[in-house]
Copies of this chain bind each other. A is one copy, B any other.
Amino acid sequence: MNDPRLDALRQAVPGLHLKTDPADLEHYGRDWTRRWTPAPLAIALPGSSDEVQAIVRWANAQRVALVPSGGRTGLSGGAVAAHGELVVGLERMNRVLAFDAVDRTLTVQPGIALQAVHEAAAAQGLLYPVDFGARGSCSIGGNVATNAGGIRVIRYGNTREWIAGLKLVTGGGELLDLNRGLVKNSSGYDLRHLAIGAEGTLGIVVEATLKLTDPPPPAQTMLLALPSFEVLMRVFAEFRARLRLQAFEFLTDRGLRHVLAHGAGNPFDDVHPYYVVAEFDAADEAQQAAGLAAFEACMEQGWILDGAIAQSQAQAQQLWRLREGITEAVARYRPYKNDVAVRISAMPAFLAEAQALLGEAYPRFEVVWFGHIGDGNLHINVLQPDDVADEAFMAQCGRVTELLADLLRRHGGSISAEHGIGLVKKPYLDSTRSTAEIAVMRGIRGVLDPNGVMNPGKLFD
């Protein structure tokens, strides 16, 4: 390809890995949304921070837009390159750079997969606790960009809580070494936290220092069958008060059916409206007894209709599969995904209204929803029927999301709990952030990326 801008890039970064094959452009130009036609200018695969910095400086000189790219498992289109951007793929920068036993930190390059981080931490007898289904494919850089949450937030919080330091090449081409692993550092604005969740619009993360912690004690895993969402909230309150929860995830019967159809085994004979996968500390007999007592107390109240308690690690994994397998089980329907959050206390009222809204708005589409009660986070997957065309499906989903956004506005919620805004949720950002907030964000973007080269069109215009 003879684009003079790429010639200039080759000159600016000698030896840079560049890909321009059509197959590569397609592969690197899209994420898991599959809704935009990839059309990047080229794919750069830098091998070092210096190369990233040189690329950003070239982009400023040539006014070429950049799309930072990790595992491309994003669900909001944040890593889509559909307008002649240069994709900056970080897959070659995937090494563990350092482990410090005293600080209990792991310093990694951004392209490392979450699972590789888990393994590197485990090799030191420690835990990196952020975890979710895409662990094998997603990258730490992408986790930082969306402040990824997942299934352990109730115990450990989001990615934000586990970042002790970040190196960021700003849109202006400066390399910032933010916080540098310090526990305490009250020396002006915390730009590290500004970069976390910025979806690659302020710069490119080229290094992260992650906090590690002790592995959790042995856990007990239970599957609970419940009659209603009101009861589910009561069981949550009861379990949280009595036990040290590691996870408390729910799904509906509809989600379960998809997972079962996809090959999972059903521990129950009957069908129930709601299910919960609960996991809690069970290090000793007292904690195990407390778990059983919580279960029995809820049973006696008639709150729990049926239950299964894992007797082994293998059984626990089977129970987890019922919750974690949903995304994969419905993937073939190319679902439109809403990923919303309200305060935990607002969940019942919000959900009652949301259920009514969704039932009315999607009479023809199947809606599978599940989520993280302890985080106030609900995932709504609208399945695309085989006989409905893309355009009509997306138009309908867009209209319903508009209504959902109104609902969130009234309940003080968020249009994106953990997927990010990207392209998919950009039209609804004002349901969650005020005009004044968006104006401040726009101003800040201008400070860090004066020429607008970083992931333009994402998050907000």
CB proximity to B under 8 Å, residues A177-199:
177-178, 180-191, 193-194, 196-199
Q: Which residues of B contact A459 (CB under 8 A)?
A: 188
Given the known interface contacts A147-B186, A341-B183, A429-B188, the answer about A440 and B436 at a Cβ–Cβ threshold of 8 Å is no
Task: Decide yes or no whether A100 CB sits under 8 A from chain B.
Answer: yes
Given the known interface contacts A174-B436, A187-B421, A188-B441, the answer about A341 and B182 at a Cβ–Cβ threshold of 8 Å is yes
The answer to whether A103 touches B345, judged by C-beta atoms less than 8 angstroms apart, is yes
Q: Which residues of B contact A432 (CB under 8 A)?
A: 185, 187
The answer to whether B158 touches A188, judged by C-beta atoms less than 8 angstroms apart, is no
CA distance A184 to B233 in the complex (A): 18
Task: Decide yes or no whether A460 CB sits under 8 A from chain B.
Answer: yes
Closest B residue to A375 by beta carbon equals: B183
Task: Decide yes or no whether A237 CB sits under 8 A from chain B.
Answer: yes
The answer to whether B185 touches A343, judged by C-beta atoms less than 8 angstroms apart, is no
Closest B residue to A431 by beta carbon equals: B187
The answer to whether A343 touches B416, judged by C-beta atoms less than 8 angstroms apart, is no
Closest B residue to A184 by beta carbon equals: B417
Q: Count of A residues near B, CB < 8 Å?
A: 74
Task: Decide yes or no whether A146 CB sits under 8 A from chain B.
Answer: yes
Chain B proximity of A348: nearest CB distance (Å)? 9
CA distance A146 to B345 in the complex (A): 30
Chain B proximity of A66: nearest CB distance (Å)? 18
Chain B proximity of A163: nearest CB distance (Å)? 11
Task: Decide yes or no whether A135 CB sits under 8 A from chain B.
Answer: no
Task: Decide yes or no whether A452 CB sits under 8 A from chain B.
Answer: no
The answer to whether A194 touches B189, judged by C-beta atoms less than 8 angstroms apart, is yes
* Residue in contact with A441 in the complex, picked from B100, B181, B191, B375, CB distance below 8 Å: B191
Chain B proximity of A197: nearest CB distance (Å)? 5
Closest B residue to A445 by beta carbon equals: B189
The stretch of A324-332, A393-401, A407-415 in contact with B is A407-415
CA distance A342 to B460 in the complex (A): 37
The contact sample of 21 A-B pairs, CB cut-off 8 A, is A102-B343, A103-B344, A160-B193, A170-B436, A170-B440, A181-B343, A182-B412, A184-B376, A185-B414, A185-B417, A186-B197, A186-B417, A186-B420, A186-B421, A187-B421, A187-B432, A188-B433, A189-B194, A189-B444, A190-B196, A440-B448
